[in-house]
Amino acid sequence: MMFVIIVLLTLLSHVPALDVCPKCGNMEVPYPLSTSDNCGNPRYRIYCNSGALEFSSAQGFYYRILSINPSARKLVIRPPLIVKNTCCSSDLSLGGLSLNENSSFNISTHNTVMLFNCSDNILLSPLNCSSTSFCRQYEEVGEGSGCKGTLCCHFLKDTAMTSHRIRVRAGGCTAYTSVVDIKPDDPIDRWNYGIELQWLPPL
């Protein structure tokens, strides 16, 4: 009898929380992504807030999740808003997007990041701040219009850079956006705005 109880207890304590999480609004939450302690894998925490899936940065800023591709282990989050009539990203006070160094997520190499209202020091960097930079087109559209005429640049966020942050700050660059898989000839209305993140396979 005692033996049976011990075996049962052992089994119970080893049942991993492997359940797939329920849908959030109309979006599936594929494993290992986890919206609560009771489902998914806790190392892949995302949030279901009022029926919308969100990703939290290390600083606790929430970014809306636009799409998830579980087989490629990728998800795309919405870049922060640029506050109307300004050239400041809504996460400026937090320094932009940053992920924990230990996070199971990192920023993929498919993002073309545009920075706006930069200080002159940026010209010492290898970023493309020319008059043909993609950022010049973005300044012409609604959300970017507050940045019109500021010094702006773009770059492909590839393996030469940190994959854990996109930095903005007063006195540096104060706004940013990102486009996934931009193609040089794409008209701006085809740009796929987002920041693509990828996740490590569960151990």
Ligand X SMILES: *[C@@H]1O[C@H](CO)[C@@H](O)[C@H](O)[C@H]1NC(C)=O
In the complex, what is the shortest distance from the CB of residue 48 to ligand X, in angstroms, rounded to a whole number?
23
Nearer to ligand X, 16 or 201 (CB): 201
Nearer to ligand X, 52 or 161 (CB): 161
Nearer to ligand X, 49 or 74 (CB): 74
Residues that bind ligand X (CB under 6 A): 73, 86-88, 100-102, 106, 117, 128, 130, 132-134, 146, 159, 163, 170-171, 174, 184, 198-200
- Residue 27 φ/ψ, nearest 5 degrees: -100, 135
| Cβ(91)–Cβ(54) below 8 Å | no
In the complex, what is the shortest distance from the CB of residue 47 to ligand X, in angstroms, rounded to a whole number?
18
User: Per-residue DSSP letters for 50-77?
Assistant: TTEEEEE-TT--EEEEEEEETTTTEEEE
Nearer to ligand X, 49 or 86 (CB): 86
**Cα Rg of the chain (Å, integer):** 20
CA distance linking residue 112 with residue 133, whole number of Å: 11
User: Per-residue DSSP letters for 141-183?
Assistant: STTTGGGTTS--EEEE--TTS-SSEEE--TTS--EEEEEET--
In the complex, what is the shortest distance from the CB of residue 28 to ligand X, in angstroms, rounded to a whole number?
20
In the complex, what is the shortest distance from the CB of residue 15 to ligand X, in angstroms, rounded to a whole number?
26
In the complex, what is the shortest distance from the CB of residue 84 to ligand X, in angstroms, rounded to a whole number?
11
Nearer to ligand X, 49 or 163 (CB): 163
Q: b or e along 106-120 (b: 16 or more beta carbons within 10 Å of the residue's beta carbon)?
A: bbbebbbbbbbbbee
